Structure 1
């Protein structure tokens, strides 16, 4: 297998992006830094916008969702929008507000299950915490991002001597009783206050000034290439930071597009998207309306622009696993390192239609990118994406696509080295169409 230096560089950039983004808030901050470095201007939803020709912009909502855009060279009413959407969150574990408690001399942190992770993959890993902390400041508060780089917590397995059926029955963890993470030895003080002091020391603030926090549990092991020819990659959060990074890279590659180009990264996809920062909220419609208003479009013009728009929901796809062939639709086997996957579902769990699929196929052909098609087994429930949510709210032509991967929702996922470059090329062509 031939892997070009450019393709390998794209894959390495993805691993670096993920390793810098152990929480949705960090993912937005990492993206913001790259946009600012390329001359983008941050807008605030609380202020009036003054958009200027030739400028590029982004806006953040809630710290964990972001929309970036480049006004097109052609009239918006004539071209519409080219939008790529993805999500910043991944399934896993989140700390409860009062997480720390002591049990028989051991301090543990209580967690909630966020979305649908493979819980067994969290056992015996070098875990740590990353998120945001709100600290009292004057009459209000300031938000600080924080990550503990070194392994801080752990979920040790029960020895096989006490769980003789684990290899036959699988590792089953009681969500309330058996998921709390071990933090350290109890020293006679209030465990929660001890944990807050650790957070305060890391931020160099007074523990009494900490008001609230949100922490994501993450794996400290960095991303890596693997395989005989390093043809695979492994990391946490490939679902769906790989799509976020592909959209970002494609947007940055199109400095002066003909049509107005938009990248929309949403939080809370893994828990249904129904929030102010989720795809089910008003964020995307609010931003598009403000762009249209600054383009001088009346209501009729906005309708024309939306009717001429194209929305690509980019979320990872299930690659065929040779160890579990019975889990897949036999005539829609998706291969790793074989290009973007068009995802279809008759019950509209994906937003793909025959016309939008043909349009994406033509764009991939133009970019010299191979393309695949995926359908779920009829006797298995199919997951969904932001695609049906956004397309139904905006009334736009839409498609669901993704790069193929293994072990989706595991703490350590795998994908193909070639596929990230393929997806970047495909999305670049979408923005250039």
Structure 2
């Protein structure tokens, strides 16, 4: 695989994954095509030497791993972690709003959304719907309308004369509701969802809609952009970019060392859920693979996690927002993220492991430290490290516009990180003790 084909597949992955549910489906399809076998948490697992497996939880988180041998206690895992969710607008349970001549959707802000970027965009709806069938069973199905069916119109400058000088603070209760159509048109939310389920799923005979988890998203496709194709521009780069890179690294691992990919939901709202990094999903899987507490601890202590989540690139229009000695540039290599207050889980040894692998591959490594007078964000790295005790490196690809409806990253960086993570998956020893 070369950089061009890698990036084209990345664009397709982004476009096919408007929600965490869809991202997991897309990853499942890629894993199954590569011979990975799906496990069910409700079943007894039989893991065979040389096997490749994956398991999902809540349809929105996934763990995949290789088992070249079953001696996990003496080999450990080379782990790559990312998250499937992105800041967005999600429909409220009673989502239909009719007011002032329009049908609208009531929405709740999910995560740290840059709200103004959602104005004047062509939006669609996707997610999971749970319903009762005509036979009396309860089922869930994913839907994606794909077409632009909603928009959040901006307020004309004539009605807000100070907006250019003072900025526009969007009220998330009153001013972010998307418009669907005029109120002279028929609109019934349950009927609308039922018809979409029937269009997408032949096996779904809907009696009544019971609940849903639906998100709005921008229908504009991801693209390679810039005068010389320097950038990848698209929605949900944070953090589907890392999910894709981790998945491709797993698929390219040579089965010499056990390798594990974990992509969890709900990072943008704290990861505190049954399928989030602050939940038991990863520990549950690892304990099923190690039959005794002794072997479990040995496995963890011989493992390392690379937590991959986007990093803030030095923005040429806002250079003062960075510590000038720790200001990553786009297309100049992945970024090791360091915070001595443990907002990132990086330490000197995990940094050394990555730098050594990157140097072997011929790539530069950058470092990000937030300005000392600014608050630092966090990732699944400290959460996972704190939950199971695994040595962890926080790393990311430099990005502009993080949490915008459309973000910007380098067209070289993702492929370069992928190559280093392939070497990481094959690394026989981490730090000599």
Could you say which TM-score interval applies, normalised by the shorter chain?
over 0.9
- Kept after mapping to 1: 8 A contact 2:51/2:68: no
- Kept after mapping to 2: 8 A contact 1:101/1:192: no
Match of 1:281 in 2: 279
Match of 1:220 in 2: 219
- Kept after mapping to 2: 8 A contact 1:133/1:146: yes
Q: 1 CA distance for matches of 2:223 and 2:185?
A: 41
| TM-score after normalising by structure 2 | 0.95
- Give the counterpart of 2:270 among 268, 272, 276: 272
Q: Report the number of matched residues.
A: 424
- Kept after mapping to 1: 8 A contact 2:49/2:70: no
- Give the counterpart of 2:399 among 401, 405, 409: 405
- Kept after mapping to 2: 8 A contact 1:223/1:235: yes
- Kept after mapping to 1: 8 A contact 2:84/2:264: yes
C-alpha displacement at 1:264, in angstroms?
0.3
Is it true that 1:131 corresponds to 2:127 in the alignment? Answer: yes
Is it true that 1:88 corresponds to 2:84 in the alignment? Answer: yes
C-alpha displacement at 1:188, in angstroms?
7.2
Match of 2:23 in 1: 27
Q: 2 CA distance for matches of 1:217 and 1:275?
A: 22
Q: Which runs of 5+ in 1 are unaligned?
A: none
Query: 1:352-407, CA deviations, whole angstroms, 9 ceiling, x for partnerless residues?
Result: 01111111111111222221111001111111000000001111111100111100
Q: 2 CA distance for matches of 1:174 and 1:74?
A: 54
Match of 1:120 in 2: 116
Greater alpha carbon shift after TM alignment, 40-49 vs 351-360: 351-360
Match of 2:183 in 1: 186
Match of 2:44 in 1: 48
Match of 2:414 in 1: 420
Q: 2 CA distance for matches of 1:328 and 1:312?
A: 24
Query: 1:307-327, CA deviations, whole angstroms, 9 ceiling, x for partnerless residues?
Result: 111011110011000100111
Instruction: Indicate the RMSD between aligned Cα atoms, in angstroms.
Output: 1.6
Is it true that 1:76 corresponds to 2:75 in the alignment? Answer: no
Q: 2 CA distance for matches of 1:104 and 1:206?
A: 35
Query: 1:194-223, CA deviations, whole angstroms, 9 ceiling, x for partnerless residues?
Result: 544554554576664221111111110001
- Give the counterpart of 1:107 among 100, 103, 113: 103
Q: 2 CA distance for matches of 1:314 and 1:193?
A: 39
Is it true that 1:370 corresponds to 2:364 in the alignment? Answer: yes
Match of 1:386 in 2: 380
Secondary structure at the counterpart of residue 326 of structure 1: helix
After TM superposition, the structure 1 = structure 2 runs for residues 248-327 of structure 1, keeping only pairs within 5 Å, are 248-257=247-256, 259-293=257-291, 298-327=292-321
Query: 1:243-276, CA deviations, whole angstroms, 9 ceiling, x for partnerless residues?
Result: 000000000001413x211000000000000000
Q: 1 CA distance for matches of 2:197 and 2:312?
A: 41
- Kept after mapping to 2: 8 A contact 1:251/1:263: yes
Greater alpha carbon shift after TM alignment, 129-138 vs 83-92: 129-138
Secondary structure at the counterpart of residue 47 of structure 2: coil
Match of 1:9 in 2: 5
Greater alpha carbon shift after TM alignment, 364-373 vs 14-23: 364-373
Q: 1:73 to 1:136 in 2, by over 3 A?
A: same
Q: 2 CA distance for matches of 1:123 and 1:415?
A: 22
Query: 1:120-179, CA deviations, whole angstroms, 9 ceiling, x for partnerless residues?
Result: 000001111010111213443121111111101100000000011111222211110111
Q: 2 CA distance for matches of 1:74 and 1:63?
A: 27
- Give the counterpart of 2:338 among 344, 358, 363: 344
Q: 1 CA distance for matches of 2:235 and 2:417?
A: 19
Q: 1 CA distance for matches of 2:83 and 2:300?
A: 22
Q: 2 CA distance for matches of 1:124 and 1:239?
A: 21
Q: 1:222 to 1:307 in 2, by over 3 A?
A: same
- Kept after mapping to 2: 8 A contact 1:101/1:191: no
Q: 1 CA distance for matches of 2:139 and 2:184?
A: 31
Q: 1:50 to 1:207 in 2, by over 3 A?
A: closer
Secondary structure at the counterpart of residue 209 of structure 1: strand
Q: Which runs of 5+ in 2 are unaligned?
A: 428-433
- Kept after mapping to 2: 8 A contact 1:313/1:398: yes
Match of 2:355 in 1: 361
